Structure 1
């Protein structure tokens, strides 16, 4: 296998990805970022956990959650009376075809407020996602996601 060829985990063959394949992979990783925000905001926590590899890590507030069960348990501990909207922008994905992996960053603006609509919403939180993606037999998944507050 050459440096730029990959062992495709889905098709099991060595191949050199073309430009269209690289763009498709980038779009699939970008979709993981957007799906994460949507599923968290709509409390679809099993879908959040399924975005990660089976040993995936999610680091937030200094705590690293590893694996589907830990991520799912953390999601279920979110307050029920708070509504959130995660707005992800400036998504960048860099494909490493030699390892069937990718890295990515995106900016997060998090809006939070009382679910009832009563009261004042908290000031937005600005953060950055630092992601690592892996191409698995089920498609692209998040291998790690680190959330860092920007200010």
Structure 2
């Protein structure tokens, strides 16, 4: 196995780990864990929600937690295409269960099924997501969005 092939295996593993960290951070992690996934200038879009940079992500995460949001995120179909030595385009599909209140939350229908497209960038700290576009495919209108905005289809 060549050194380049080994490096690509390691890079794939690290990018997959970013997605697992995203799920863990939203499903009970800290704001620091959430922010560590993204570049400082991240472009994060979920339906109609547009967040630019760590400050906007922090505000969203903290408002989501204050609202009592409970969620579990499941990912499938991770497809990584390297677009350069230090860049990658990543596609996946996510299933989200969500609600609010004390555990266990009543009801167990999915909140959202979404396609996710990321641009990832190798930084001195490792791979980070520089752009995340979440496109809702199926949305349960009976479950409220985690943070009130002008758009309903939010993660």
TM-score for both structures, normalised by structure 2: 0.79
Equivalences, count: 135
Find the counterpart in structure 2 of residue 128 from structure 1. 115
After TM superposition, the structure 1 = structure 2 runs for residues 1-151 of structure 1, keeping only pairs within 5 Å, are 18-78=4-64, 80-98=67-85, 100-116=86-102, 117=104, 119-151=106-138
Question: What is the CA–CA distance in structure 2 between the aligned matches of 1:118 and 1:93, rounded to whole Å?
Answer: 34
Larger CA Rg, structure 1 vs 2: 1
Structure 1 stretches lacking a partner, 5+ long? 1-15
Structure 2 stretches lacking a partner, 5+ long? 139-155
Query: Cα distance 1:67–1:125, how it changes in 2: closer, same or farther (>3 A)?
Result: same
CA RMSD across the alignment = 1.9
Moved runs in structure 1, 4+ residues, more than 6 A?
none
TM-score for both structures, normalised by structure 1: 0.81
Cα pair 2:95 2:110 within 8 Å, conserved: no
Cα pair 1:49 1:69 within 8 Å, conserved: no
